[in-house]
Structure 1
Amino acid sequence: MAMAMNRPLAAVALYRRSLDGNVEKPAEAWVALGWAYHGLQRFPEAIAAFREAVRIEPDEDQGLHGLATALKDGGDAGSAVEINERRIALNPGNALAWRQLGFAQATLANPEKSIPALERSIEFDPKQGRNWLVLIMQYHLADRHDDLRRAYEKLRSIDTQFAAQYRTSHPGAGEGYFTGARGDRFERLSCAGLGARILGSN
């Protein structure tokens, strides 16, 4: 799997060759091929590969996770929502499925639906820096300023890099912004660039 992430072109060739033969675990090979295509941002091929993995093993979370992620990143967040809801039905304690559901709903500009999913994911795994960052952005869009400050402080305690990304992306993030010294008069966050980078991930 690491090869699919770090050397996607070589991984595509390798996994295509293995699938042309008599591979021992075909579903895993299709998943690896899907991530290789995903790394190249060739989302139609990634979706097709993940769909094949799901066809072979319909309830295996690796294939469903890859399919949901590729659908979201390929522009079909609505279908990604459906896949992640299926993953949650199979395993209600799946923190990654809740996170991806929240990401998909955020991509659809539904903070009222993304926030509960992201909060649920954090209940199961509270040390997800990327999740906290997206949750902060969703709190901001929903004008939930107290929750935003609380979440930002939590993010700073677990992942300073993601906290810095949020702070530097905000044009009005001066002294006192996150502590409430400026009251509740928040400027609207323009998070298109940051949001695309964060949400376009698994």
Structure 2
Amino acid sequence: MPKRLLVLLTLSALLPAGPAAAEVRTFGLGGDEAALAARPQAEWVRHARSLEKRRDWAGLLAWGKDWARGDPDNALAWFVQGRALAEQGRFPEAIEAYRQNLRLAPGDVFALNNLGNAYRDNGDSRAAMLAYRAAAERAPDYVAAWHNLGLTFYLTKGEAGVARALDRLRATDPQLAAVWHALALEYAITRDERVARDAVRVLRGLSRAQRKRMFGILFDAG
């Protein structure tokens, strides 16, 4: 699956920029756990962004590991590792890093989205779609998850599978078919924000039972 077709949440999109600052010194702490724990959050964040911008994935991974050593309960430290590991093609390790992120912050839809990407790139399309689904369920207006879910569904099931799912949705509830088509198919292709906004408005009007029924039909579609 072409990676460029799917949305990867970057640190630049997730982490606050903070005030302008001189380049962070990254060496000299060694194994000093106390020094790692004392390092301010803003410093960890700024340098993580800098390493990502330079595409220094080995450096970003080392930085994320040090961050987790100093603050193992910080979900962002694990997100950083997942980001670096995925870029290095180490998808099973990226999956575990994002899963640790989610153990610490179960509602983190950004980690769920990137977990889906790691599953997808590791060849597990169903696990990827389940992760995207969880992100979309937690944050219905998080269109990146819908985009990724729709494209993965299409590339996994093909046009025939998409048509069968839409037929079943229309037969059950035309609103469900309209939402799925707009958010996960039309928006995924056009990236037209108006399409996404209109679909999200309809989605918010659906009951939890309706949304559950929609996902049930989609995940049962052959």
Contact residue 98 and residue 121 of structure 1 kept, 8 A: yes
1:37 aligned residue (31, 48, 51): 51
The corresponding residue for 1:138 is 152
Q: CA deviation at 1:27?
A: 4.7
The corresponding residue for 1:151 is 180
Aligned residues: 156
Q: CA deviation at 1:40?
A: 1.5
Give the Cα–Cα distance (whole angstroms) in 1 for the partners of residues 70 and 189 of structure 2.
Answer: 40
The corresponding residue for 1:50 is 64
The corresponding residue for 1:14 is 23
Q: Are residues 48 and 78 of structure 1, via their aligned partners in 2, closer, same or farther at CA, if it must alter by over 3 Å?
A: same
Over alpha carbons, which structure has the higher Rg?
A: 2
Normalising to structure 1: TM-score of the pair? Answer: 0.64
Normalising to structure 2: TM-score of the pair? Answer: 0.58
Taking only aligned residues, the RMSD between alpha carbons, in angstroms, comes to 3.4
2:132 aligned residue (89, 97, 118): 118
Contact residue 28 and residue 53 of structure 1 kept, 8 A: no
Give the Cα–Cα distance (whole angstroms) in 2 for the partners of residues 163 and 113 of structure 1.
Answer: 22
Residue by residue over 1:60-102, the C-alpha shift from the partner in whole angstroms, topping out at 9 and shown as x without a partner, is 0111111111211221111111111122222332222222211
Unaligned runs of 5+ in 1: 167-202
2:106 aligned residue (84, 89, 92): 92
Residue by residue over 1:28-86, the C-alpha shift from the partner in whole angstroms, topping out at 9 and shown as x without a partner, is 42332122111221111111111111111011011111111121122111111111112
Give the Cα–Cα distance (whole angstroms) in 1 for the partners of residues 45 and 61 of structure 2.
Answer: 10
User: Residue 15 of structure 1 aligns to a residue in which SS?
Assistant: coil
Give the Cα–Cα distance (whole angstroms) in 1 for the partners of residues 142 and 121 of structure 2.
Answer: 18
Residue by residue over 1:103-162, the C-alpha shift from the partner in whole angstroms, topping out at 9 and shown as x without a partner, is 1111112111101111001111122222222111210122141369853402589xx6x5
Q: CA deviation at 1:20?
A: 6.6
Contact residue 117 and residue 128 of structure 2 kept, 8 A: yes
Q: Greater RCO between the two (CA within 8 Å, min separation 6)?
A: 2
Q: How does 1:66-85 map to 2 (within 5 A)?
A: 66-85=80-99
Give the Cα–Cα distance (whole angstroms) in 2 for the partners of residues 141 and 156 of structure 1.
Answer: 11
Give the Cα–Cα distance (whole angstroms) in 2 for the partners of residues 61 and 152 of structure 1.
Answer: 34
Give the Cα–Cα distance (whole angstroms) in 2 for the partners of residues 116 and 153 of structure 1.
Answer: 19
Q: Are residues 41 and 134 of structure 1, via their aligned partners in 2, closer, same or farther at CA, if it must alter by over 3 Å?
A: same
More deviation in 105-114 or 89-98? 89-98
- Report sequence identity in percent: 19
